[in-house]
Chain A
Amino acid sequence: MAKRIKVLIAKPGLDGHDRGARVVARALRDAGMEVIYTGIRQTPEQIVATAIQEDVDAVGLSCLSGAHNNLFPKVVQLLREQGADDILVFGGGIIPDADIPGLKQAGIRAIFRPGTPTEETIRFINENVSE
């Protein structure tokens, strides 16, 4: 039997809107994944430390406050610096179209915006977590 995929859902920055993060965490859990939710107000450093300590396969970042351009790339960069760049990073929130190319270039592999069915996120993780 394949190993269960382990995902960290994290809220970087000061944003307190975590309805989306919690719903996604629960949907991933229902889809058979092991999910850790950090709670709100995490620094990129705290998120990366948790990701490495928990040996997760993927990190999902949620931000609705507009600070994603500062925070999401920082997480990827810190993972790289610590040799954990095999961890799949994706994001969600109120992210304008114009910001998506920059985020993808920084190493955030997918951005899921309001209205995305949780099925889509689940499929993305299943297809992209390296065996």
Chain B
Amino acid sequence: MSWVAKTLSSSLGKKLLMAGTGLFLCTFLIVHLIGNLQLLKEDNGQSFNIYASFMTHNPLIKVISYGLYFFIILHSAVAIWLTILNKKARPADYAVSNTSSTWASRSMMLLGTMLLIFIGLHMVHFWARYHFDNGLSLVSYGTEPMKNLYEIVDAMYDRGNEGWIGFYVISQLVLGFHLSHGFASAFQTFGLNHRKYTPIIKGAGLTFSIVIALGFAIIPILMYLN
């Protein structure tokens, strides 16, 4: 094995991969949330559709999106690898356990698995239909006709779909808990722990997790109510 592979497959290296991919996914969440907030604009989906069309056709964003898929898979794969090794290191559980650590920090794999299921369904609901469903209606805003993604989203968050809306909102809660530990934890893994900055990073992580979770959760709720 080369020194690079040896470093990245060590216990610390695997954590570095988790932290690096995790923080990249955090930046994606910011972009995704800003884009999605356009769903709340009262223009019958015009700005959202233009944005969706731009995101699927811009070559640079296409390249980044392949990176994104790769990082989601890498983040999940290394997590599974780590979980198996960690379980092997502690094969027998204690009869009584009274730990002081937070629930989120101990449940990253559970929360992550729930998020992966969410991402899968989310892509089936929107991404796959947008890319492969030829029956979608087209709209034109003085431009080339484009697929009307807004229509699918609007129908998804309509009366009668309360189950899915609940699923989406709960998934954002799961995301919030995952981020509440993951964000600050990534910096610690990078070795960035400093008396001055760690409290700021922890505060930023908590704020980030609340803003992201609330921001995403509010969209289906408001679309349902409107």
Instruction: Answer yes or no: do A and B interact.
Output: no
B: residues with CB less than 8 A from A are none
